[in-house]
Structure formats: structure tokens, C-alpha cells
């Protein structure tokens, strides 16, 4: 296994960084390609391990997939599906594999999927996905860790979500586009990735309105055709680089970003004394004075994204004064606090809140990435820490950040990867 070795910087990051396509947008869009037998082409698909797992799953289901990682293009042709089943191995590697459920129901009227199970950040159930499917005439049965879904007549209905779950909204949308009649998803998630999926589905001939709001209207159509689609920029990767500029007191330009997707992050950074400017070339992010403490609460979009919570904890760890984070989206998303404490951060966790007392400087040591965004938070902390930090289990980070080490090095960071020589237990 590989690890990152990061030396703390004395000067801020400087230069340009190009943001990749959104991981969370490309995964449901790949699932959507199963809805037609015509060829689809996805552009700006970041070569990440999660994307490779999804490509593998589409192939297991019988789709022909050509993934050119160099040009970041994926061509999918699902002429005939040979299987309607995802294995435990796939679900274990990537929870988003459950997103093929809606597409398989739309295309084949059935699916047999391994239940995703929990992960470091919480239990991650799929009850809302299943409730939505049931309302659309799907019979579901759970046995031996699998859920079997059968829909003789997939039909539209009104589906009210108890919580605006991103995955449930996507899965119901995927099932509804080929269902008979009209589906209304109320209390739907409004994340930009939902809009990107809806854009792709519309390009395939689907009838969808209201995406980006809390009510989505879908008119089922008889069939969908192929489409070519460019994935939106990854707002979480962008936010992470913005936080990297902030924590190092840098001045960087982010290319390929959508300012409207970054509003909650920009507003919070402003409170922390970090400036942003949208220019013709991209989004400039810089800090001249000291970091200010702040308070934040994670919320569904357009609230502050839970995926940016860990990177912001790193900022707060070195912002003079008291900061507070309340995590409302996931039940157990503070595991990174323990690793940050090993670097000298002063953090107290009380249930879903974290109180952070800023210290002058963190110090480098050996730490472990416990999940994707936690790993990003450790890199940020390491950039601003005194001395050297070794971050193990970086495969978590590579699920969602394309060439993060190369991109940071181009901005002046001292980060490199080496083989892990001994056990991860520290």
C-alpha cells in the first residue's frame, strides 16, 4: 500500500489548478447509460477508482464499455443486459453501486443487488430508495444480504422523501424516466449532481422538470436514445483546493469550476478571512491576513456540504479562537478529529458537534486516512503543519481526488508517495 509524505510549507500555495469532472455526477450518469441500447459518450470522466468500479459493474451487467482514461472519455453501449445482479464484492468496494437499481428497474423490470452496508461515516441505509420504488409498483425482498426488486408494471407516483437523500433522488429519477405515467419526487435533493443527471437524461429524451428544486416532475417516456454529455466540475475537489489555499495563506487560480456550485463554501471562506474572485480564467482564492474562526452546520444543498466538513475542520484547527461544526447529514462523520488531534489540534466532540480551539501550528506525524474526505483534511493539515506528515491508507483519497499529489506539487507543495513499509496500526 502507498502513503503520502507531506512536508509543511513556510509559504502559501501559488499557481493554477484544473479541477476534474465530478465523481458524484459521473457515477449515476454511468448507471443511466443502462437505460438505452444506443451508444452514450461521457466526457470529462475523472480516472478515479470509484469510476473504474462503476465501469466494471456495467461490464458485469453486460454493457460494452470503452474507458479511455487519457482523454477521460467513457463510451457505453448496453445493447442487451446479461445480468441484473451486483455482487457483494462490488457493493463492498463502492456504495454507489446501488445506483444501478433504478436503471435496471427501468430497463429490465428487475434487479438483484447486494446491500451496501455501513461505512466509516455512518450506517448508510437504502430504505428511502426502496420506499420510493415500492410506491412505483416495485416488490422488494431482502435475503442473505441481497435485495431483490421486481416490477411487472413500473408506474409513476408521488414520492415524498423523509430526507432529501442524494442517492434516493437519483435512483427514483432513474426508475421514473421509463415508468408509465408521471412521478413527482417531493423533498428531493437539489445537489448540482442531480441536475447533471437530469440534464443527461433529458439529452437521452427523458421528460424532467424541477431538478435543482425540492420537487422534481418526471413524465415517463417509452424509450430513450444515446447521448453525449460532459460531466460538471467537481465542486468538492474545488472546495478542497480552496481550503488548501486558505490554510497555507496562498493565492491560487482554479480552472474549470462553477461558482454557483461553490456558494456555501465561498461564503464560509469569507467568514474565515479568505477572499475569492471569479475572473475570466477561473476562480481566484487567496488569503493575506490571519484565518478567522467560524461556525458551520452541514446541510443538503444549497447548505454547506458535508463532504467539505472535514477539510474545514483542518482550517479551524489553525484559526485563532473557537470554531464549531455541527454535522447534520451523517451520523458518524468526525473520525478525522482523532487523527487531527494527533497533529496537535484541539477538538472536543459532543455527539454531532465539534468544538475546535485554534492552535498556532499543527505538527507533522504519522496519521491514517479513515475515509475519502478525512484523508483530504489530513493533507490540508499536513501542508500547514511543522515538519513532516506521513498519511497512510491513501486509497481512500484516490477514490475521489484525481492526481491530488501532482496537482498540489504544481502549486508548490512538497508531497510525494512512497510504498508503505510496515503495518498501518499506529
**Helix, strand and coil in the chain, % to nearest 5:** 35, 30, 40
Q: Catalytic site residue 33?
A: no
Distance CA 201, CA 35 (A): 9
Q: Least Å distance between CB 240 and ligand UD1?
A: 13
Q: Least Å distance between CB 234 and ligand UD1?
A: 11
Nearer to ligand UD1, 3 or 235 (CB): 235
**DSSP H or E segment with residue 57:** helix 49-61
Nearer to ligand UD1, 166 or 408 (CB): 166
Nearest alpha carbon to residue 46 among 410, 305, 373, 401 = 401
What values do phi and psi take at 117, rounded to 5?
Answer: 75, -175
Grid coordinates given for 245: 489555499
Q: Least Å distance between CB 118 and ligand UD1?
A: 9
Binding residues vs ligand UD1 (CB under 6 A): 24, 27, 96, 122-129, 163, 165-168, 193, 306-307, 329-330
Nearer to ligand UD1, 145 or 181 (CB): 145
Helix axes 192-203, 23-32, angle to 10 degrees: 30
Nearer to ligand UD1, 66 or 127 (CB): 127
The catalytic position among 33, 40, 119, 195 is 119
Q: Least Å distance between CB 385 and ligand UD1?
A: 26
Distance CA 330, CA 83 (A): 33
Nearer to ligand UD1, 13 or 48 (CB): 48
Distance CA 260, CA 265 (A): 10
Nearest-CB residue for ligand UD1: 167
Grid coordinates given for 363: 505538527
Q: Least Å distance between CB 323 and ligand UD1?
A: 21
Cβ(179)–Cβ(154) below 8 Å: yes
Which are the catalytic amino acids? Answer: 119
Amino acid at each position: 500500500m502507498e502513503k503520502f509524505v507531506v512536508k509543511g510549507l513556510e509559504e502559501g500555495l501559488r499557481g493554477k489548478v484544473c479541477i476534474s469532472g465530478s465523481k458524484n455526477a459521473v457515477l449515476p450518469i454511468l448507471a443511466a447509460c443502462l437505460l438505452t441500447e444506443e451508444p452514450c459518450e461521457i466526457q470529462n470522466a475523472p480516472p478515479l477508482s470509484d469510476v473504474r468500479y462503476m465501469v466494471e459493474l456495467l461490464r458485469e451487467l453486460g454493457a460494452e464499455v470503452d474507458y479511455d482514461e487519457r482523454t477521460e472519455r467513457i463510451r457505453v453501449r448496453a445493447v442487451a443486459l446479461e445480468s441484473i445482479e451486483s455482487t457483494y464484492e462490488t457493493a463492498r468496494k463502492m456504495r454507489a453501486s446501488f445506483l444501478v437499481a433504478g436503471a435496471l428497474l427501468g430497463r429490465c423490470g428487475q434487479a438483484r443487488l447486494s446491500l451496501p452496508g455501513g461505512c466509516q461515516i455512518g450506517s448508510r441505509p437504502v430504505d428511502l430508495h426502496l420506499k420510493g420504488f415500492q410506491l412505483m409498483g416495485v416488490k422488494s425482498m431482502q435475503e442473505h444480504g441481497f435485495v431483490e426488486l421486481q416490477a411487472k408494471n413500473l408506474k409513476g407516483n408521488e414520492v415524498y422523501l423523509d430526507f432529501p437523500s442524494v442517492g434516493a433522488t437519483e435512483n427514483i429519477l432513474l426508475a421514473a424516466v421509463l415508468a408509465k405515467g408521471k412521478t413527482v419526487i417531493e423533498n428531493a435533493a437539489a445537489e448540482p449532481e442531480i441536475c447533471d443527471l437530469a440534464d443527461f437524461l433529458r439529452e437521452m429524451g427523458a421528460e424532467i422538470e424541477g431538478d435543482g428544486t425540492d420537487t422534481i416532475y418526471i413524465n415517463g417516456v417509452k424509450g430513450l436514445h444515446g447521448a453525449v454529455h460532459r460531466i460538471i466540475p467537481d465542486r468538492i475537489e474545488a472546495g478542497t483546493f480552496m481550503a488548501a489555499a486558505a490554510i497555507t495563506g496562498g493565492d491560487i487560480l482554479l480552472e474549470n469550476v462553477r461558482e454557483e456550485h461553490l456558494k456555501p463554501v465561498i461564503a464560509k471562506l469569507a467568514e474565515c478571512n479568505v477572499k475569492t474572485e471569479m475572473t475570466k480564467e477561473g476562480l481566484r482564492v487567496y488569503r493575506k491576513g490571519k484565518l478567522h474562526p467560524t461556525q458551520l452546520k452541514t446541510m443538503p444543498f444549497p447548505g454547506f456540504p458535508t463532504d467539505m466538513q472535514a477539510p474545514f475542520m483542518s482550517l479551524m484547527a489553525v484559526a485563532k479562537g473557537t470554531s464549531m461544526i455541527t454535522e447534520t447529514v451523517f451520523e458518524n462523520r468526525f473520525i478525522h478529529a482523532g487523527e487531527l488531534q494527533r497533529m496537535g489540534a484541539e477538538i472536543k466532540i459532543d455527539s454531532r458537534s465539534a468544538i475546535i480551539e485554534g492552535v498556532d501550528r499543527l505538527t507533522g506525524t504519522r496519521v491514517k486516512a479513515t475515509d475519502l474526505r478525512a484523508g483530504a483534511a489530513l493533507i490540508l493539515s499536513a501542508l500547514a503543519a511543522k515538519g513532516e506528515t506521513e498519511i497512510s491508507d491513501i486509497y481512500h483519497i484516490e477514490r475521489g481526488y484525481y492526481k491530488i499529489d501532482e496537482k498540489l506539487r504544481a502549486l508548490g507543495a512538497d508531497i510525494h508517495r512512497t510504498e508503505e513499509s510496515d503495518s498501518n496500526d499506529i
